Amino acid sequence: MQGPIETADGAEKAADRLRGLLVERNFNRFEDVWLEAVEDPQLVSAQLAVFLDVNEALAAAEKSTGRSGALLELLPSCVSESTPPEDVLRLHKLLVYCFPANKEYRAAFSECFEKTYPLASAERVFYEASGFSTARDPKAALTRLERLLKFRQGAHVFHESGWGLGKVLAVDPFLRQVRVDLEHKKDHRIAANVVDTILEPLPEDSFRVLKFEGGEGLRRLRDEDPVRLVTLMLETFGNPSPLKEVKRHLVGVVEPSGWTKWWNRVKAQLRDTGLFRIGDRPPYHVEKLDEAVSYEEELVRDFFRSDWTRARQIGRLVARRTGGQLSGVWEKIRDRLLEMTKVEDRITAIEAALILERGDGAGTKEVTKDVVKGVFEKLSSKELAATLQRLPSVDDHRRVVENLQNTRSDDWREVASLLFKGNKNTLREAAMDLLEKSAPEVLRSLVDDVIRSPKSAPDALCSILQSHLYWTSGGGGARDSLEVMRTKGARDLLVLVLDLLDHLPHLSERRGRTSFKEIIGRVEKILADQDCQFLRNGAEAAEPEELADIYSRLVRNDSLAPHTKGAMLQCLLDLQPDLVQQTDIPPWEEDSLYVTEAGLERKKEEFREIMEVKLPKVFKDIGRAADFGDLSENAEYTAALEERDRLTKRATQMKTDLDRVKVITPDMLKDGVVAFGSRFRVRNLRTEEEIVYSMLGPWDGSPEDGVISYLSPLGQVFHGRRAGEEFEAQLPGGSETFKLLELGSFFDDESHEA
């Protein structure tokens, strides 16, 4: 007769054979081994739980209870008095699950349950609450019974609606009640037949329970098994979850100050398992997968399923690592990138070409080299320069310029020159590096042109000025092309910047408000950095009368930020305190806007058209576009919203301006000098050209119309001048000398009201 140890060893060996066959999916041989084991009832009886475990694994592998049920039916004959009662009960429960219509199996389960648990027990209370004995659907009743049995004494439970987490204190078999202590509901009694609809039973190793019990278990997982910790968090609070929610639930377990370091380490572990997907763009979702996938498979999947913005990020990531673990991914996405170089969107085509060039090792593959060159050759030099200004990646800026000589052998100098004069600093710096290395004479000529005419490339002037100032302050080696800057004194450089500052407001409409604010900010930085050192150096080198003119120009300028303007004016007053008395402050209120009656009426009509015609129309367009449905991809709806926002901003600004208007009238004329309403004839002594201007407001016309705004650089130059006076004017385009020949009144012309 076999002893207990021999029986246990035999059962485990049989179970190991059965498990191996499951892995091999050799189900026929599985049946044979099972039948061989059942021939020894003593073997099965002592280790029934082992065979039940294997049987459940069979049902899961086949996703069916047909074969597993048939094999289960062989086990009741193996049960003996030595078989643990809980194992016998489990056998009958599995038989009911496999054969719910079999009344004998249902009766056997009931008899076994009642025999295992006494009448005055919590288990019997839950058994009766489940209604198993009379249920039409015994499987559903069994499922509910299993859930109810989780509410035994000491179990952790959770109330979703607000009472919080707590523990079962006791189950009263006579009153058929469950007594619980919850965070916000102490010593509460719930009827046993409804407790599972009110409370949620929690596993003892769940996130909420471990935290409720002091958090020591969570902290241990933090250090020993962080993957399990994240898994518990997701199971409890939602899978997937945004990273900010993951952090919110784990901060406390992980110290806030150490979160970033801990998460970066754990993120790598999560990805290595293949069971987690971790987003790398907002909201950075963390997701536990049902089946393992590799990081490389995830990258490929994301690349082909994502829009170009996301696919571009993946492409760049893979291209940087094609020599290592991601070489397989590169081979899978390379053909798609080649397709992207053929799209009509120039930016997309260029971005795809640059990714290919990097991934194939700086164009070592002939196909890639030809593709990259073809993308750039499609555009004229001006089109290419304009397109590159819209290229979003700073890294791409330098790489595309470095490739110009290979991709644009005939006109790379022209493209680089256009980039030098453009708005993007990174493109300009890269173009300067290329030209200084390969065409220094071109770069010197460009710098000379910018200094002669700052308004032609204001961003470029700011860049070369900042480079010059950096060099003169000991910040490193200087470019040879900036030698011309070193020949100019501090006074000349200051005049250059002030001339540009006076001209910038005229660029605002053409450049756009955002770009205008950026260039104003750069000019302010040059003038005001390091306690206004640049301004101070230039002012100290200027003549006293020039200092007064500098002060006056700054006072008149409305583009500067108030605190910056105040600091600069104070800097000048520190050098010459009586500047306020010397300066001829214009005779107008800075908070007012001066225009003629005709200019005001035109602006009012424009405002009326926006409010009464254009805005009502755009609101109708919005409603009509909304009827198309799916607003997320409705181009008409988006365009209508953008037009509404543009018109609303425009109308708001116009209303603000209209509220501060003062009308220019004949009584504002001054005898003998140019003022509001003056009409005067001047001669440019360099060109001998004679021009007639009227000094009016910004809504009254342009110099091409014979109108000079009092706010313009020309207006400020001519204001206060007398007939017969000759004077030199520093304008954004350079220095000019004028003579005021004749002075009269705009209001004397009867046609001015037209």
Q: Tell me the per-residue pLDDT of 32-55, one tens digit each, with 9 for 90 and over.
A: 988 888 888 887 887 888 889 988
Q: What dihedral do alpha carbons 509, 510, 514, 518 form, nearest 10°?
A: -110
- For range 205-233, the mean pLDDT: 92
Residue 754: per-residue pLDDT: 36
Evaluate whether 34 touches 18 at the Cβ level (below 8 Å).
yes
Pairing of strands 285-288, 276-278: antiparallel
List C-alpha distances in Å: 237 to 58, 212, 228, 448. Answer: 32, 15, 14, 65
Contacts 24+ apart (CB under 8 A), 722-731: 722/672, 722/673, 723/672, 723/680, 726/685, 730/495, 730/498, 730/499, 731/499, 731/503
In the structure, what pLDDT confidence band is assigned to residue 110 with cuts at 50, 70 and 90?
very high
351: tokens are 């971005």
Residue 477: per-residue pLDDT: 57
Residue 751: per-residue pLDDT: 47
- For range 16-25, the mean pLDDT: 88
Q: For the chain, give every domain's residue range.
A: 4-116, 207-293, 294-360, 488-585, 593-661, 666-753
Residue 553: per-residue pLDDT: 80
- Same CATH fold assignment for domains 593-661 and 666-753: no
List C-alpha distances in Å: 657 to 513, 618, 713. Answer: 17, 23, 21
Residue 602: CA count within 13 A, CB half-sphere: 12
682: three-class secondary structure by DSSP:
strand
Burial of 662 from C-beta contacts in 10 A (0-12 / 13-18 / 19+): middle
Closest by CA to 315, choosing from 297, 300, 294, is 300
Residue 347 — φ and ψ, nearest 5°? -60, -50
Q: What percent of the chain clears pLDDT 90, i.e. is strictly above it?
A: 32
In the structure, what pLDDT confidence band is assigned to residue 750 with cuts at 50, 70 and 90?
very low
Evaluate whether 314 touches 306 at the Cβ level (below 8 Å).
yes
Question: Is residue 724's pLDDT more than 80?
Answer: yes
Q: What is the pLDDT of residues 160-175, one digit of tens each?
A: 888 999 999 999 989 9
Residue 37: per-residue pLDDT: 85
Residue 323: per-residue pLDDT: 63
Residue 4: per-residue pLDDT: 46
Q: 413 or 407, which is more confident? A: 413
Name, in order, each residue with C-beta under 8 angstroms of 353's C-beta and a sequence gap of 6 or more.
341, 371, 372, 375, 376
DSSP string, 177-233: EEEEEETTEEEEEEETTTHHHH-EEE-TTSHHHHHHTTSHHHHHHHHH-HHHHHHHH
Q: How many CB atoms lie within 10 A of CB 539?
A: 22
Chain mean pLDDT for the chain = 84
Least trusted range by pLDDT, from 9-18, 225-234, 623-632:
623-632
Residue 267 — φ and ψ, nearest 5°? -60, -40
Question: Is residue 627's pLDDT more than 60?
Answer: no
Evaluate whether 664 touches 677 at the Cβ level (below 8 Å).
yes
Residue 441: per-residue pLDDT: 92
Evaluate whether 666 touches 748 at the Cβ level (below 8 Å).
no
Q: What is the pLDDT of residues 586-607, one digit of tens each?
A: 556 667 888 999 999 999 999 9
Question: Is residue 362's pLDDT more than 70?
Answer: no
- Rounded distance, CA 558 to CA 116, Å? 92
Residue 1: per-residue pLDDT: 41
Q: How many CB atoms lie within 10 A of CB 603?
A: 20
Burial of 572 from C-beta contacts in 10 A (0-12 / 13-18 / 19+): buried
Question: Is residue 511's pLDDT more than 60?
Answer: no
* pTM for this entry: 0.49
- Rounded distance, CA 364 to CA 145, Å? 69
Question: Is residue 363's pLDDT more than 50?
Answer: no
In the structure, what pLDDT confidence band is assigned to residue 105 with cuts at 50, 70 and 90?
very high
- For range 91-108, the mean pLDDT: 92
- Rounded distance, CA 586 to CA 591, Å? 13
- The enclosing H or E element of 489 equals none
Least trusted range by pLDDT, from 242-251, 508-517, 618-627, 715-724:
508-517
In the structure, what pLDDT confidence band is assigned to residue 154 with cuts at 50, 70 and 90?
very high
Question: Is residue 736's pLDDT more than 70?
Answer: yes
Q: CATH fold of 666-753, please?
A: Chitinase A; domain 3 (3.10.50)
Closest by CA to 302, choosing from 326, 335, 280, is 280
Q: Which amino acid is at 626?
A: A
The residue with tokens 């002037």 is 461
Question: Is residue 144's pLDDT more than 90?
Answer: yes
Question: Is residue 510's pLDDT more than 60?
Answer: no
Q: Is 535 left (phi over 0), alpha (psi -120 to 50) or beta?
A: alpha
Residue 419: per-residue pLDDT: 92
Residue 633: per-residue pLDDT: 46
Question: Is residue 581's pLDDT more than 70?
Answer: no
Name, in order, each residue with C-beta under 8 angstroms of 560's C-beta and a sequence gap of 6 or more.
501, 520, 524, 554, 568
Q: What is the pLDDT of residues 632-688, one digit of tens each?
A: 445 666 777 888 888 888 888 888 889 888 898 888 888 788 888 999 999 999 889
In the structure, what pLDDT confidence band is assigned to residue 629 with cuts at 50, 70 and 90?
very low
471: three-class secondary structure by DSSP:
helix
Pairing of strands 156-159, 164-172: antiparallel
Q: How many CB atoms lie within 10 A of CB 392?
A: 10
The residue with tokens 């805005």 is 615
Q: CATH fold of 593-661, please?
A: Helix Hairpins (1.10.287)
Rg (CA), the chain: 42
Evaluate whether 745 touches 678 at the Cβ level (below 8 Å).
yes
Q: 325 or 404, which is more confident? A: 404
Q: What is the pLDDT of residues 113-130, one digit of tens each?
A: 999 998 889 999 999 999
- Rounded distance, CA 642 to CA 752, Å? 38
